[in-house]
Structure 1
Amino acid sequence: MLVPIRWLKDFVDVPNDINELSKRLTMSGSNVEGIEHYGKEISNVVIGLITKVEKHPNADKLLVVQVNVGTEELQVVTGATNIKEGDKVPVALHGATIAGGKKIKKSKLRQVESAGMLCSAEELGFDDHGLPKEVQEGIFILPENAPVGADIKEYLNLEDTVIDFEITPNRSDCLSITGMAREVAATFKLDFNVPAICLKEESEKTAQDVAKIYIEAEDLCHRYVARIVEDVVIKPSPLWMQRRLQTCGVRPINNIVDITNYVMLELGQPLHAFDFDKVEGGTIIVRRGKPPEKLDTLDGVTRDLNENMLVIADINKPLAVAGVMGGANSEITPTTTRILLESANFLGSSIRQTSRQLGLRSESSMRFEKGIDPNLCLKAADRACELIEQLGAGKVLKGYVDVFPRKTSSKVVPFNPERINKVLGTDISADEMVDILNRLEIKVNTTSDGFEAIVPSFRMDITQEADIVEEIARIYGYDRLPITLPEGNVTHGRLNSQQKYLNDIKDLLVHNGYSEIYTYSFVSPKVFDNINAPKESDLRQVITLLNPLGEDHSIMRTTLIPNMLDVVSFNLSHKAHDLKLFEVGAVYLPKKLPLEELPYENKRISIGLCGDTIDFYDLKQIIETIFNKLQIRDYKFIQSRHFAFHTGRCACIEIDGQEIGYAGEVHPDVLENYEISKKTYLAELNLDTILSKASRKIVFKPLPKFPASDRDLAIVVKERILADDIISTIKEIGGELLEKVELFDVYQGSQIAKGYKSMAFSLIFRAEDRTLTDKEVNDIIEKIQTGLYEKFDATLRK
């Protein structure tokens, strides 16, 4: 919020020390982001009266001008063509400084002396946007009543200091000059004065006679005030108003539009002026949009309206997007003679949603989004009409139309001074607390239990005692609060077991060359098609966001697979190769749609591998390494099918018979959807289940006293038979004497029949109480061979 000091002084006697002002206001909660000084460098520029204009004797495009500057008459050479005798203009005298620090001296132009320079608006640091075209392209022509010889800085208020305040979202009342003046008055214990509004209402007609207002969407529009002005004269607004708007970052347009902007900045209530002759039936209807309605807004863009948008319309067509921007079909033009002045109060969340959907944000919508006091509507309309009368811009009709379906009342917030002092650690008297609140225009009544604050309607952020504590603390001064050490029981912070297990997993993965990634929980609905998810897949039961950032971030994810593939694709496109990635994140699984309760947040881990030398066994190895780290023993990789993975190259992973996820080679169609040109292997595992199965229990056993007996067993089986099934059978038959079994070779080739494979296992036997004999081991080997033959039709490899 840009606040010019000159404007602020209309309402409060601002301290002269700007640095002290900024410091104190920052400490009271109005953070100062910057201070800008305007017009300070301009000097020795006065108002002059042109008494004579002649052509330059030696140059066709130059003029020789005689100009009276009050104390003397000077000769000035200029190239401007928009001047004539009798014009009053800014004259930079010898030794003057204009905007940008440029110095002006006497000189000769084509052998003719020039005692100074006639100035344009730009050369004075004055935005010429609201001035006539001929003035924009030439010398700044001043009003006829400009006093000759006067300092131009004083006449145009060129010198000013503007403070840029950072206004927090809860303090919408400070998005105005009067709001900041109130803060200055409260902080420095000064008088806050708002002049009374005085209207003449010269027209004999009444607003109720010519205008009708209907609010159909009462849930989105809390109040609508309309005033009517006739005999409107559209012209540039006076220079003082243009200058004030410019220092607040608003470009002047014309007197009517400038007045609406001026009142919005002064009071914080956005206004809008409609050309009343373009409002059919003289009727304003506040309603929701009706698709396929469209509206050409003032920025020249055609907007599609929908039923979620609040619209200002007449009996046949929409006129404006409420609280955001007006329509071109009712804008103020040079031919406008009657206007309807709108001062309304709209629901902030509705304006925010509409602004986001249209991709259109204005000074008006920004204020409505944060919330505005509905009791401000009539005051703002009256203030605008007062300015219209003062500037001779039209005649205001008597009365107004005010539709106020739900009137608001002041909030009453009880508070106790003892509790406030206890919270702040202070010893502020009750009288001082009352004084602070009164300075903030919060009245205080005494009750049997303490006090109650009567909160004015413009302070929508104050709802409970904690808010009263904050108001007293910031005005009293945060820097005056005593410094104390925290009291109470101190709990030693530590990680719980699940957090420790998770850190172990991350450390292990990083140690093995994996990089951790973080991705958004919001994804696009298109991801399910990209990973080939069936239409009936449970993954498509998603939570849709009410206010998404866009289509690509409009739902909550139910799987981590698309996020991992996005990252792999991004890295490959940036020439990164041999990727080893992992992500720990939540997926959001609704118990029922539409949502009636919070969804189940399932924590998962996603592991991705991509490269020329990587295969499925690299992925399997790292998963098994994680299980071994967490002392998870009873796990299985079971050949399975999954829509995102290559057929026949996918495994379902189980722990204690419970499915925890899938691992495999990503399907070529999915890789094509993500523009991935290399084989990619992926796993998505239920981390909550894994952590629940983890253990840190360590069992120590004495070193074996007796030697082991080693045997190798090579068998031939059909190629569809899994090694894990054979190992399970070997362990079952081997019993307690079988200490370990490992697969160390798989062979398919010319020496093995087609459709078969050779598998070689290493078996280690040991007894705890004796040395095993060859006969004992051979008997077990024979039983294993027989069992494998009966179950898998396995034969010894010759």
Structure 2
Amino acid sequence: MKVSYQWLKEYLDIDVAPRDLAEKIARTSVDINDVYSLSDGLKKIVVGEVETCEPHPDSDHLHVCQVNVGEDEPIQIVCGAPNVAAGEKVIVALHGARIGDNVKIKRGKIRGVQSNGMLCALQELGFSDKIAPKDYDEGIYLLPDDAKPGDSVFPYLGMDDTIIDTDVTPNRGDMLSIYGNVNDIAAFYGLKPHFKELAIKKEGDEKTADLVKTTVNDEKISPTYKLRIIKGVKIADSPLWMQIKLWNSGIRPVNNVVDVTNYILLKYGQPLHSYDYDKLPGHQFGVRHANKDEKFTTLDGDEQTLIENDIVVTADDQPIALAGTMGGEGTAVADDTTTVALEAAIFDPIMVRKQARRLDLHSESSMRFERGINPATVETALNEAAELISELAGGEITQGIVTASEKPAQDKQITLSLSKVNHVLGTNLKMAEVTDIFKRLAFPATVSEDDQIVVTVPARRWDIFVAADLYEEIARIYGYDNLPATLPVMTRNHGGLTARQKFIRASRHDMEGMGLDQAISYSLTTVEKAKQFQIDPVDEPMKLDFPMSSDHVATRMSIISGLLIDVAYNVARNVNDVALYEEGRVFLPKGGERPEEQEHLAAAITGHLLANSWHLDDQPVDFFQVKGIVERYLHNLGIAGEIAYVADDQRPEMHPGRTADILIDGQLVGFVGQVHPTVAKDYKIPETYVFELNLEDLIAADKVANEYHPISKYPAITRDIALLVDKNVTNADVLAVIKKRGGAFLKNIHLFDVYSGLHLPKGKKSLAYTLTYQDVHNTLTEDQVNKAFDKVTNALVDDLGAEIR
């Protein structure tokens, strides 16, 4: 909330510099976004009076004005505003002035006529279009008649005020009003606020109950709902003092009725809504749930399609406002309005928040309804608004208030123990100090003989429920800096990671050790992307009821899609060699209310393995490189089961000829392969290889115990073998046969050549292997190696039909 320092001083005798006050608020109540004045950076901007205004000789829209700026002689200024005229008081930027956006004003000629300054609109002083009055959109701003030529314009426009822009947390909705800020500031400075309430001075003879009726069938959605009627109003601009308060608070002045409702909103934190009584479809007010697919046009001219969880204010059961959010286009107060129906209410904060978020209609009113309304000031605010409208618009207030529901303003009583207060805060406060703090907060407190304090918390502090809330109040008013600083008590327990944490950390170290960079992507994505790249496919993801954007509507069931978005981001910025991994959770609906959460590890690699080397050519990443990363990772984990890679052409997002499922003892734990070219095109990425593993299965898998294997001092013997086999025989098939028949001394099998071409029979390929034999206890003999090698050769011929070359 933008808090006016001058407005605060109307209710507090405070003598603290605005920036010091802002720092105190930040250290005691809520955060501060900024402290500023609308005049910051501006200079040499004064009041001027247009003495004469003549048409420019060479222009059909420019005027040559003689302007009194408080000097001996008027200055000549050329101006193109359509509303400039003799006798008007205007804003003048003199020669050498600085206006908005740090623009400097200089003397010059405009179409041959000397101009010694500039007549300004509010926007040219830095006012945004959102707060500058619409009446002056096409011209300059006109100052009041009592403005004195030559004076600085800043006091006339409230630009000499200091604005403290607070960042109010959801629990401190009371700080979204001048009333709440005054009470809080008074407490931590020990001041007595003199808050002014304006009561109704006179009511007419006609009864409000004869003009409107109102009922609320479900008081949960509207615990309080009240109406007043003001007849015979005349719509005009509100007085400048009110406009200044509004635009200094970031709200655009509209007219004397709407401005009053916004002024009361800022003063009390109580949103009000004004209706043109004569434009209502009927005069039986109500609050109800919206009908499914019910249409309603809001003040901004947009047609909204409502759902059953929305709430609407109705007249004769026809919607006239989205409760707590925005009024309707057809019943808004306009220039021809003569009778105003004024509404003050409390609406269900959760329903208002969901409605405003779903329709993207956040407003000053909805922000306050979401955070809570003080039930003690609903009627006070309604009466003050009615009186102000009567005074400013000349209307007559009808007799009485029509009430459909009313939530009583109940104070809460909480019992504290002084010893517990000191124990929790680590202080040594005396009873008098604690009671003084509650006195400053205006919380009545009574003390019993046995160390107990009974505190009465007024309804205006609806965020306080239990003793712990009062401990916080004591701490912040006493001063957080005054609390003693003590070291935490140390325990004798040794800290450490759980086995699961160690496993996950080791996984990250392995990925980084193999050259991959960690990425963190969103857990929420689109439904389409959530269904892609699943290890064990599930039909539908878990969806959010109220997503914040269309790109984040479902929980992810795979990590790969998020990594591909990261790859696309890098590639779009000419980073073509990308190797990313992510360890995180996926969410799989399994029929319960909550999805099953699993830890997964995934990676995405594109580009070259070795880039810009002076002695080696760049090599594009391929399936075998990524499969090698997976193999090394599983080896480092010490997986005891049999690991197999089985070709799979059934994954629609993966290349059917370059994808393999990863199995441990026949159980699917992941997959590795190339992203299908059409999917890669959708993501706008080049050829990319990925893998994803279910860490839950890997954590649960049997592991090889740590063993020490001494390096053998005896020499190794190698044998090379080349095979001619059918093309459908895989390397895995050959390795399985060799390992089965290789014997106890076979230590390593290395595939060093693959060939298929014109010099081989059709449907055949050549595979060449090096077999390494070694005995850790003795020197192998030639006969031992030959015997073992012959068994391998015969098994390859018998089992695979291989021809030894």
The residue number in structure 2 matching 1:427 is 428
Distance in 2 between residues matched to 1:94 and 1:648, nearest whole Å: 77
Matches within 5 A, 1:204-603: 204-216=205-217, 218-315=219-316, 317-404=318-405, 407=408, 409-446=410-447, 450-489=452-491, 493-527=495-529, 538-593=537-592, 595=593, 597=594, 599-603=596-600
1:178 maps to amino acid: Y
Report the CA distance shift for 1:542/1:135 in structure 2 as closer, same or farther (over 3 A): closer
The residue number in structure 2 matching 1:669 is 678
The residue number in structure 1 matching 2:601 is 604
Q: CA deviation at 1:38?
A: 5.6
The residue number in structure 1 matching 2:29 is 29
| Contact kept? 1:2, 1:162, Cα under 8 Å | yes
Structure 2 residue 652 is matched with structure 1 residue 655 = no
| Contact kept? 2:66, 2:75, Cα under 8 Å | yes
SS in 1 for 2:538: helix
| Contact kept? 1:45, 1:96, Cα under 8 Å | no
Deviations along 1:648-690, one digit per CA (max 9) or x if unpaired, are 3221212344321011222233223323343x22111122333
Distance in 2 between residues matched to 1:515 and 1:277, nearest whole Å: 67
Identity %: 33
1:362 maps to amino acid: S
Distance in 2 between residues matched to 1:152 and 1:693, nearest whole Å: 78
The residue number in structure 1 matching 2:144 is 142
Distance in 2 between residues matched to 1:564 and 1:120, nearest whole Å: 51
The residue number in structure 2 matching 1:111 is none
Deviations along 1:709-761, one digit per CA (max 9) or x if unpaired, are 43333333332233223322332233324333333333333444322333333
Distance in 1 between residues matched to 2:2 and 2:173, nearest whole Å: 14
Q: CA deviation at 1:43?
A: 9.8
SS in 2 for 1:252: coil
1:797 maps to amino acid: I
Give the RMSD, CA atoms, in angstroms.
4.4
Please give the TM-score of this superposition, normalised by the length of structure 2. Answer: 0.84
Distance in 1 between residues matched to 2:97 and 2:629, nearest whole Å: 74
The residue number in structure 2 matching 1:615 is 622
The residue number in structure 2 matching 1:646 is 655
Report the CA distance shift for 1:514/1:103 in structure 2 as closer, same or farther (over 3 A): closer
| Contact kept? 1:291, 1:305, Cα under 8 Å | yes
The residue number in structure 2 matching 1:14 is 14
| Contact kept? 2:525, 2:556, Cα under 8 Å | yes
| Structure 1 unaligned blocks of 5 or more | 105-113
Q: CA deviation at 1:102?
A: 12
| Contact kept? 1:530, 1:670, Cα under 8 Å | no
The alignment covers a number of residue pairs equal to 781
The residue number in structure 1 matching 2:636 is 629
Distance in 2 between residues matched to 1:56 and 1:738, nearest whole Å: 106
Stretch moving more, 205-214 or 120-129: 120-129
SS in 2 for 1:329: coil
SS in 2 for 1:431: helix
Report the CA distance shift for 1:719/1:411 in structure 2 as closer, same or farther (over 3 A): farther
SS in 1 for 2:744: helix
Deviations along 1:296-326, one digit per CA (max 9) or x if unpaired, are 3222333333323222222253222222221
The residue number in structure 2 matching 1:764 is 772
| Contact kept? 1:280, 1:314, Cα under 8 Å | yes
The residue number in structure 2 matching 1:5 is 5
| Contact kept? 2:747, 2:773, Cα under 8 Å | yes
Distance in 2 between residues matched to 1:454 and 1:208, nearest whole Å: 36
Report the CA distance shift for 1:752/1:10 in structure 2 as closer, same or farther (over 3 A): same
| Contact kept? 1:222, 1:374, Cα under 8 Å | no
Q: CA deviation at 1:148?
A: 12
SS in 2 for 1:574: coil
Distance in 1 between residues matched to 2:749 and 2:135, nearest whole Å: 94
| Contact kept? 1:89, 1:119, Cα under 8 Å | no
1:584 maps to amino acid: E
SS in 2 for 1:300: coil
Deviations along 1:549-574, one digit per CA (max 9) or x if unpaired, are 21211111001222233233333333
1:621 maps to amino acid: G
Distance in 2 between residues matched to 1:697 and 1:456, nearest whole Å: 66
Q: CA deviation at 1:292?
A: 3.5
Report the CA distance shift for 1:654/1:4 in structure 2 as closer, same or farther (over 3 A): same
Q: CA deviation at 1:241?
A: 1.3
Deviations along 1:91-150, one digit per CA (max 9) or x if unpaired, are 99999999889999xxxxxxxxx9x9999888999999887958984683636x999999
| Contact kept? 1:172, 1:367, Cα under 8 Å | yes
Q: CA deviation at 1:516?
A: 2.4
Please give the TM-score of this superposition, normalised by the length of structure 1. Answer: 0.85
| Contact kept? 2:576, 2:606, Cα under 8 Å | no
Distance in 2 between residues matched to 1:233 and 1:157, nearest whole Å: 26
1:468 maps to amino acid: L
Stretch moving more, 383-392 or 769-778: 769-778
Structure 2 residue 751 is matched with structure 1 residue 743 = yes
| Contact kept? 1:37, 1:159, Cα under 8 Å | yes
Report the CA distance shift for 1:396/1:557 in structure 2 as closer, same or farther (over 3 A): same
SS in 2 for 1:9: helix
Distance in 2 between residues matched to 1:409 and 1:398, nearest whole Å: 27
The residue number in structure 2 matching 1:109 is none
SS in 1 for 2:195: coil
The residue number in structure 2 matching 1:108 is none
1:624 maps to amino acid: E
Deviations along 1:508-542, one digit per CA (max 9) or x if unpaired, are 433433232221111101225766x89xx743332
| Contact kept? 2:230, 2:390, Cα under 8 Å | no
| Contact kept? 2:119, 2:140, Cα under 8 Å | no
Distance in 2 between residues matched to 1:648 and 1:148, nearest whole Å: 85
Deviations along 1:63-84, one digit per CA (max 9) or x if unpaired, are 77999x9xx9998988899799
| Contact kept? 1:324, 1:351, Cα under 8 Å | yes
Report the CA distance shift for 1:599/1:406 in structure 2 as closer, same or farther (over 3 A): farther
Stretch moving more, 259-268 or 544-553: 544-553
Report the CA distance shift for 1:674/1:82 in structure 2 as closer, same or farther (over 3 A): closer
2:542 maps to amino acid: I
Q: CA deviation at 1:708?
A: 4.3
Stretch moving more, 198-207 or 468-477: 198-207
Distance in 1 between residues matched to 2:191 and 2:288, nearest whole Å: 44
Report the CA distance shift for 1:266/1:782 in structure 2 as closer, same or farther (over 3 A): same
Stretch moving more, 749-758 or 394-403: 749-758
Q: CA deviation at 1:353?
A: 2.1
| Contact kept? 2:37, 2:159, Cα under 8 Å | no
